Amino acid sequence: MSAANRIRGSLTALVTPFSDGQLDEAALRRIIDWQISEGTQGLVPVGTTGESPTLGHREHKRVVELCVDAAHGRVPVIAGAGSNATSEAIGLTRHAKEAGADAVLLVAPYYNKPTQEGLYRHFAAIAEAVAIPIILYNIPGRSIVEISIETMARLAAIPGIIGVKDATGNLARASRDRGALPKEFIRLSGDDATALGFMAGGGLGCISVTSNVAPKLCAEFQAACLRGDFHAALSIQDRLMPLHDALFCEASPAPVKYAASLLGLCLADARLPIVPLSEPGRETVRAAMVHAGLLK
């Protein structure tokens, strides 16, 4: 089965576990095995949730290699490979392919605010340089720039660019994309809180932060959406909605790492400038996990 046909359902934007400031490889392997056993259908290492901004290049590449090795073909691995420097993104994309990743996730270049033509040329250059399936990552809240519908339609015509992670939270945009993009273009939500509406609008899955700590529920939610059972999906959404919110009560990934620590998955450690969750934040996360049935 091709990578494109396997990329759907609940995909986890993996945290990167640390111990004493270093990558905790054993914890990462345990997390991956647990994720797959709980029903997660894909893994997305070294995205923003994986603290890619504070990983060195060697660490970044090691996380991708570990994830591919630990997944061992059981689920697709979509490696974060984005950068605001096109040459750097090409290098990370090339490494992801060499490591055996099934696809890459490429965020819109951040900080330098390219024009729509600049966005098009950036992604087109990567697709031309490396033959690997590409998922665009549209998140204007972090990158400042938004990939317009027109630009995305141009990009969708390039061989190798197979889909988008939409973290705009804009459900009108999701429906407009549906009308403008090829039917086979894979549209994934990147926003847990609005994933229900996104899926009702024809989405194929979600690259989720919440699934780091509630993988089974997130997988069941996605399965319900994909079979058109939105009554069942809404029931799960009601359980998870406080957690969706709580995991962004302070700068991510501090809340989700704290939540993971409550489940014994890894330490709550993050790297500066992300600081440990405050006591009110810890109470918020703990209460949301109890509401979801993840803690007593």
Burial track 124-134 (b if 16+ CB lie within 10 A, e otherwise): bebbeebebbb
Rounded-to-integer distance, Cα 198 and Cα 203, Å: 6
User: Partners of 44 in the beta sheet?
Assistant: 13
Q: Which long-range contacts (CB under 8 A, 24 or more apart) does 185-189 make?
A: 185/156, 186/4, 186/7, 186/8, 186/135, 186/162, 187/163, 188/7, 188/8, 188/11, 188/135, 188/163, 188/164, 189/165
Q: Is 137 marked active-site?
A: yes
Catalytic residue among 97, 110, 120, 165: 165
Q: Is 165 marked active-site?
A: yes
What are the residues whose beta carbons fall under 8 Å from the beta carbon of 162, sequence distance 6 or more?
Answer: 3, 4, 7, 103, 133, 134, 135, 184, 185, 186
Catalytic residue among 120, 137, 257, 258: 137
Q: Would you name the residues annotated as active-site residues?
A: 137, 165
